[in-house]
Structure 1
Amino acid sequence: MSAKTMREMTRPDERMSMEEFGSDGKTDVAQKGGTASDEQEMLRMGKVQELRVSRSPLLLPSQTDYRKRNFKFVGIVGFVTILQATWEATLLALYPGLLNGGTAGVISCTIAVWISMLCTIASMAEMASMCPTAGGQYHWVSEFAPPSLQKPLSYVVGWCCCLGWISGVTACGVQLAGLVQAMVLEFHLDANVQDLWQLTLMIWLFILLAVGFNTFFAHHLPLAEGIVLFLHIFAFFAFLLVMWIMADHAPASQVFTDFHDGGGWGSIGLSCLVGLTTPIWCFIGPDAGAHMSEELKDASLQLPKAMMWATFGNGIMGIGMLITFCFCITDLSKEVLEAASDYPIVDVLFKATGSQAGTIILGCVMLVLLFFSTVTTIASASRQVWAFSRDCGLPFSAWIRHVPPTWEIPLNALLVCLGVSLVLSAINFGSATALNAIINVSNAALIFSYIVSIGCVRLKRLRGEPLLPRRWSLGKWGAPLNDISLLWLSVAFVFSFFSSSPYTSDPEAAWWAQGFNW
């Protein structure tokens, strides 16, 4: 394919210069470590390899090593695993699930969500194999939607993805600050750390540190993910053994049969569905790897496998940790629902170890893991924003999409993520409830993007239209897995908008809630 032909295929803002294309009509994908498949896929999608490659530690900062892309299989598995941080999220975000569902409800819902999310991720992994681009869902929609709907649907999905990922950054910051606050209050009940402005400043600090890591240490991100992946697995067994050996345990009959309607919905079934917030948060973000695909070697094959393995492994550890923690709750009302903090794990660790130092050490390990989950969330969010601006989907796209040649990271997109995250966090100065409501939009926005993208592929299958070539295929299981994914995601999308309890002051709302006697 000639350079002239390629320029005719691409949009005006994506046309390559002869220097970028090379005198032989090839892009510099291979120079930056991509395989022949990577180069062919980038050419078909009309994209230019712009983002960072690895740098050899033997080279000076001003020198660039073009031998390989940043990520390989293990690195991207670590990236997705650390971003989801399922067992950590299980311990930190357990309160909503225990309030609406109890121990039995949250365990059964988490297992169901894990199986359903595996179907969803399999559907998305197949699309990632067909179109391994940082754009992710909005690009997939532009490829698979009916021609008359490609532009509007792609545009809406692109905005939803940007909203979901950036608000997810704020959500991670809230969890980090909340965990610090919970550890302080566990041992110093009179400490003055409960004001909204104090929590907000801590949120800002963690977001700034995470953005700084993505800016100045981006070329070390794969190495960091590998190290943190080891810590993620090692810490899992450390927490598990502490709670199994040292903590008091509730009987199994209580753990697996104690359903709880703490929100006052009047129905155990409805209450458990409202409590889906906990398992959804534990498994959200499987598209993270897709947004790093232009920095992954042999992306169309390695990315789908990494997405599946990361979620499978995270699910095993997350469910194991959840069941263990539920055994450590001997009195749900006193130890969780009436606790001073929304992070009961701190109190459970202290009761198990009987040591302030031990509790603080374990809490700090979780803090480190959650911080790197925030780092990966920002990396994914910035690539999503950068890719969408590359296709002129955002205001000031020309500035946002610019990648400084000496940095080879989407620096301006990182600054956009930083600015919007700080603005969203500032809402906490006035109301924590309002901030939490905005953060909950993160789940809903990402789930909506999953529904539309998978729905477009399912429609093509229903019409018997050919799909794009892919190196990782679902084969005959594609249609049923797409159907299961769409059914599950529709339920998850609806209940993402539910509060923890009905507005019983409204007679109509109270009547509606009481009508669900399942």
Structure 2
Amino acid sequence: MNGGLELDTIDDKGLQKSPYHSEIEPVTKEERDAQVLARLGKKSVLERRFGFISILGFTCTILITWEGSLILFTTGLTNGGSAGLVYGYLLVWAGTISVFTTMAELASMAPTAGGQYHWVSMLAPPSIKNFMSYIMGWLVICGWQAILAGGGYLAGTMIEALIQLNNADYVPELWHGTLLFWATVLVAVFINTVTSTILPKIEAFILVVHVIGFFAVLIPVVYLAPNKASAHDVFTQFSNGGAWPTQGLSFFVGLVGNVFAMFGCDSAVHMAEEIKNAEVVVPWSMLTTTVLNGALGFGIVIAVLFVTTDVTAALSSPTGLLGYPFMQIFYDATGSKAGASVMIAIIIIMDAAGTIAFLATASRLVWAFARDGGLPGSRFVSKLQPKTAIPWIAVIITSFIACLIGLINIGSATAFNDVISLGVSSLYASYIITESFLLWRRLTGAIRSPTDVANDTGEANQLIWGPFHLPGIFGILVNAFSVIFGIIIFFFSFWPVATPVTAPHMNFSVLMTGSVVLFAIVYYVLVARKTYKGPIVEVTPYQLQHGGSLGMAK
């Protein structure tokens, strides 16, 4: 699995093999990170504050899988029922592992904040690489922008539902949710700017809350629940609440809820230029997150299904009608509004913490794409805060757009949900395209071993495997499965939840995704094709080895 680990071998004298020269050279860890980034044509200008534990906390917070599984409980229960939710979760978990294992290979090969759009520029045929890279940049940025808006929205509306649980006279309004959404985003802005230097410590602390919070919810719910469903009911009872022609079709429609709770691990990639030893830490943090969060999520799903003896009552409860039946399930299990409220508060806090990480990820993407000239006003957008080396303008722009999106919710919650569903379709489109190009390149033998220095040209963006690499047929099968799984999820991300389909309940995410692609194509043809030439090469490995500036942040 770890072919090419020679790149990371340091002897007891602090000497390390250069990836482009066979002789032994003294290289510090900081210089090594700069060398890796130089392979991609980039200077190291961001402060590398994150280590393995802090970025693991960051990615676990992005996924918040056990929390998200509860938040999005309704989707799987409506289409699939308890059994569909269980087996659908396992399928999505396996697919997600394959997707992010493939992404981990790419992250090890090219750990850059640009992620997918940079990878496509490296992997696509020369005749279309600039065009595909540009479209990919817009897809990924819009996808993460939608995820940021979704995180703030969920936090705001969950607070409304919690108030409803404790005060039956409260009448939630759409604008209440928007104001709470804005408050959540403003907190995320504060932490990403004013306290940005301690963000890694915050993320490490959140990782602890994430794990402890799991047990703080699981144990009371299971222990205090007065009644429990049978194993037969949990593992064999399917439901077709969407009235689809077949149960199988209903099952696939219901997969999207589990996908929402388990995607976005590429966030670590977009933080790569702020991570020490990124070519190793990023891929392993992605895989560790997917396995750890998947296990916690599966545990909470099974537990809650066993204590939910009346699914219909949970769905039709006041909190269920607001989209959060798990709150009623907590109350029914504990018999205490105070106890249920504490457990619900843990989930709200974790979602708000996720919004902090969503903003960090989205802003790094905006900054990286602007650095490469992919956005209007790129020179201004790509500016860094001098003292902290934080892309503060990108943070402000990203959060401002999210707050504007929040206004849509005041007019129509359905229209707003269609906007935030753009997250799944856009990111999975980027996964499919990028991983397809990788599969093509590895099948044609275009990606060289890191030990193959004989054919090295000293240029940037060469196709060379990184330290994390699945060799041979095993890697090919994982890549192929990830592409097939991605296509299935992408296809069903456009489906409505029930039939007959009416305008208020139509899933317009296909329109949103298509609009993003169409805009990117038109803008590229009219403007960007003259200015965007793919990721800009700021420094080559050859220049770095022969006196070029490391460009490292101080």
> Which bracket does the TM-score occupy, shorter chain normalised?
0.7 to 0.9
Which amino acid in the other structure matches residue 273 of structure 1? F
What residue number does 1:487 align with?
484
What residue number does 1:230 align with?
208
Say which of 374, 390, 408 aligns to 1:427.
408
Higher mean displacement: 302-311 or 360-369: 360-369
1:220 equivalent to 2:210? Answer no
Deviation at 1:407? Answer: 2.9
User: Equivalences for 1:167-178 in 2 at 5 Å?
Assistant: 167-178=146-157
Which amino acid in the other structure matches residue 230 of structure 2? P
1:470 equivalent to 2:466? Answer yes
5+ unaligned residues in a row in structure 1: which ranges? Answer: 1-32, 54-68, 510-518
Say which of 72, 81, 86 aligns to 1:93.
72
What residue number does 1:284 align with?
263
Contact 1:95–1:337 (Cα < 8 Å) also in 2? no
Contact 2:364–2:394 (Cα < 8 Å) also in 1? yes
1:133 equivalent to 2:128? Answer no
Deviation at 1:340? Answer: 3.1
What residue number does 1:190 align with?
169
Q: Counterparts of 2:445 and 2:109 in 1: how far apart (Å)?
A: 17
Q: Counterparts of 2:283 and 2:94 in 1: how far apart (Å)?
A: 17
Contact 2:113–2:365 (Cα < 8 Å) also in 1? yes
Contact 1:99–1:337 (Cα < 8 Å) also in 2? no
Q: Counterparts of 1:259 and 1:229 in 2: how far apart (Å)?
A: 34
Deviation at 1:372? Answer: 0.8
Say which of 137, 162, 186 aligns to 1:158.
137
Change (3 A) 1:130 1:428: same
Say which of 433, 443, 450 aligns to 2:424.
443
What residue number does 1:341 align with?
322
1:411 equivalent to 2:408? Answer no
Which amino acid in the other structure matches residue 44 of structure 1? R
Which amino acid in the other structure matches residue 267 of structure 1? T
Contact 1:100–1:272 (Cα < 8 Å) also in 2? yes
User: Equivalences for 1:34-113 in 2 at 5 Å?
Assistant: 34-51=29-46, 53=47, 69-113=48-92
SS at structure 2 position matched to 1:283: coil
Q: Counterparts of 1:378 and 1:196 in 2: how far apart (Å)?
A: 23
Q: Counterparts of 1:365 and 1:286 in 2: how far apart (Å)?
A: 22
Which amino acid in the other structure matches residue 397 of structure 1? S
Q: Counterparts of 2:428 and 2:321 in 1: how far apart (Å)?
A: 32
1:209 equivalent to 2:187? Answer yes
What residue number does 1:324 align with?
303
Q: Counterparts of 2:369 and 2:201 in 1: how far apart (Å)?
A: 27
Contact 2:147–2:358 (Cα < 8 Å) also in 1? yes
Q: Counterparts of 2:415 and 2:322 in 1: how far apart (Å)?
A: 19
Q: How many residues align?
A: 458
Contact 1:103–1:326 (Cα < 8 Å) also in 2? yes
Q: Counterparts of 2:104 and 2:93 in 1: how far apart (Å)?
A: 16
Q: Counterparts of 2:502 and 2:279 in 1: how far apart (Å)?
A: 53
Contact 2:34–2:43 (Cα < 8 Å) also in 1? no
What residue number does 2:177 align with?
199
Q: RCO greater where, 1 or 2, for CA within 8 Å and sep 6 or more?
A: 2
After superposition, give the CA deviation of every residue in 1:319-378 in whole Å (9 maximum; x if it has no partner).
Answer: 011111111211111222564331112111112222222122222222211111110111
Deviation at 1:36? Answer: 3.8
After superposition, give the CA deviation of every residue in 1:201-239 in whole Å (9 maximum; x if it has no partner).
Answer: 111111111112111111111111111111111111111
Q: Counterparts of 1:280 and 1:337 in 2: how far apart (Å)?
A: 24
Deviation at 1:75? Answer: 1.0
Which amino acid in the other structure matches residue 428 of structure 1? N
1:357 equivalent to 2:345? Answer no
SS at structure 1 position matched to 2:238: coil
RMSD: 1.5
SS at structure 2 position matched to 1:111: helix
Say which of 486, 493, 496 aligns to 2:493.
496
Change (3 A) 1:315 1:260: same
1:241 equivalent to 2:219? Answer yes
Change (3 A) 1:504 1:91: closer
Q: Counterparts of 2:279 and 2:411 in 1: how far apart (Å)?
A: 46
Q: TM-score, normalised by structure 1?
A: 0.86
Contact 2:165–2:337 (Cα < 8 Å) also in 1? no
Q: TM-score, normalised by structure 2?
A: 0.81
Deviation at 1:505? Answer: 6.5
Q: Counterparts of 1:145 and 1:452 in 2: how far apart (Å)?
A: 10
Q: Counterparts of 1:312 and 1:505 in 2: how far apart (Å)?
A: 39
Say which of 263, 267, 281 aligns to 1:302.
281
Q: Counterparts of 2:142 and 2:309 in 1: how far apart (Å)?
A: 39
Higher mean displacement: 488-497 or 206-215: 206-215
Change (3 A) 1:504 1:73: closer
After superposition, give the CA deviation of every residue in 1:163-192 in whole Å (9 maximum; x if it has no partner).
Answer: 000110110011101211111111212113
After superposition, give the CA deviation of every residue in 1:356-414 in whole Å (9 maximum; x if it has no partner).
Answer: 22122222222211111110111111111111111111111111111121231010110
After superposition, give the CA deviation of every residue in 1:279-304 in whole Å (9 maximum; x if it has no partner).
Answer: 10111101000011101111101111
SS at structure 2 position matched to 1:148: coil
Q: Counterparts of 1:499 and 1:333 in 2: how far apart (Å)?
A: 20
Q: Counterparts of 1:34 and 1:503 in 2: how far apart (Å)?
A: 60
Q: Counterparts of 1:288 and 1:145 in 2: how far apart (Å)?
A: 22
Q: Counterparts of 1:181 and 1:447 in 2: how far apart (Å)?
A: 31
What residue number does 1:400 align with?
381
Deviation at 1:504? Answer: 4.8
Q: Counterparts of 2:236 and 2:34 in 1: how far apart (Å)?
A: 54
SS at structure 2 position matched to 1:147: coil
Contact 2:314–2:326 (Cα < 8 Å) also in 1? no
Deviation at 1:34? Answer: 4.8
Which amino acid in the other structure matches residue 499 of structure 1? P
What residue number does 1:258 align with?
237
Q: Counterparts of 1:77 and 1:244 in 2: how far apart (Å)?
A: 28
Which amino acid in the other structure matches residue 39 of structure 1? A
Identity of aligned residues (%): 35
